[in-house]
Amino acid sequence: MGAAKLTERFEAALVYANRLHANQTRKVSGIPYISHLLSVAALVLEMGGSEEEAIAALLHDSIEDQGGKPIREDIRQRFGETVVAIIDGCTEWDTPPKPPWQERKNRYIEKLRHASPSVRRVSLADKLHNARSLLADWRQMGDVIWTEFSSGKEKTLWFYQSLVQVYRETGSDVMIEELERVISQLS
C-alpha cells in the first residue's frame, strides 16, 4: 500500500481542528488538545491510512466535544460524507444529555464490532494514543491519575481490554499489540 498523498484538504482540516479545539486541554497533563489529534492522525498515517482517514482522525472528537449535530453538518459540507461516516463511527454520543458512562462504552464497543476498516483504524489510533498518555501520566504521578476518570481504574481498564478483544477480531497488527502491552502495564 502506497503512502497517503496529503492535499490542501488535510491542511484545511488541521486549521479547522486547531480552531475547534483551541480552548481544550488534555485530562491530567493539561497539554493542548490538538497534540492528541495530531498524534492520532500521525498513527493513522503510520498504519497506512488514507487522507480521508487522517482528516477524520484530526476531527474524531469534534462532534462529541465541540457542538454535536451542527458541527457534524459543517464537517460534512467542508470534508464530505466519507470523513463524517468515519467520525460517526468513532463518536460515543452526539445529542445531549450525555448518556451514562457504561451505556456509552457498551454502545461504542458494539458499534466497533461492525465498523468499517477505516473506523477501526481511527478508533485504534485514538485509543492507543490515549493509553500511551495514560501510561505516561501514571508513571509520572501514580494512581492519583485515576481520580480524573469518572469511571475509575477498574472500569477504564475493562473498557480498554474490551476494545483490544474487538480489534483482535480482525487480525493482529503492531498497534493492537502495543495497545495490549500498554494496558497490561497499567493493570
Angstrom distance (rounded) from CA 30 to CA 52 = 28
**Options 51, 64, 74, 94, the catalytic residue:** 64
Q: Are 176 and 124 in contact (CB under 8 A)?
A: yes
Three-state SS sequence of the chain: CCCCCCCHHHHHHHHHHHHHCCCCECCCCCCECHHHHHHHHHHHHHCCCCHHHHHHHHCCCHHHHCCHHHHHHHHHHHHCHHHHHHHHHCCCCCCCCCCCHHHHHHHHHHHHHCCCHHHHHHHHHHHHHHHHHHHHHHHHHHHHHHHHCCCHHHHHHHHHHHHHHHHHCCCCCHHHHHHHHHHHHHC
46 is catalytic: no
Told to judge if 65 belongs to the known catalytic residues of this protein, a careful annotator would answer yes
Q: Which residue has the cell 461516516?
A: 85
Rg of the chain's alpha carbons, rounded to an integer? Answer: 16
> Catalytic pick from 11, 51, 61, 65?
65
Catalytic site residues? Answer: 64-65
